[in-house]
Amino acid sequence: MDYRKAAEKAEKAKATFDYYRPSAVGERLVTNAASKVEIKESKSLWRWLIAIGAVGNVAIWLFLLLFHSAFSTSVDLLLNLGKFAGIFFSLPFWFVFVAVYSIFRLRKPDFEETPQFESNLMSTYTYRTKADKVWLVWICAGMIAGLNMLLLIFAYWFL
């Protein structure tokens, strides 16, 4: 019994020593500083993508609502482009999709990072719940962008 207690104390002492070892402290400080810089840079990236998506979507809607005849003429020209027309017709979808996805990433910056799972019974469940959250964000962004496209099409038909 005394041997087990002594072994546990020795294990705790080793773990404490490893945690406060000077090189380990330095590694944690560098990693922490780098992750803060990375998060700050990624926040500015997501803000730019939100701005680009919102401005692009608003520009398309204003073009449709204010200049409907020019919009229908441009749609007719795009239909004559053939296979490149799909690129231009998908722009309203992508503007909204990127903006919504960026909003989610700005609110939860690390939701798509894969964590290091331990090999235990709950690791599969943990991975599955994390993956479900990621898919939910992708599906929500796609559905909102699709709804925007449908509203754009209905506005084009009925104006």
What is the dihedral sign for C-alpha 27, 33, 39, 42?
negative
Displacement of CA 31 from its chain's centroid (Å) = 22
Residue 153 is classified by DSSP as H
pTM above 0.75, yes or no: no
Q: What are the tens digits of pLDDT across the range 53-112?
A: 999 999 999 999 999 899 999 888 888 887 788 888 889 999 999 999 999 888 887 776
Rounded to whole angstroms, the Cα distance separating 158 from 155 reads 5
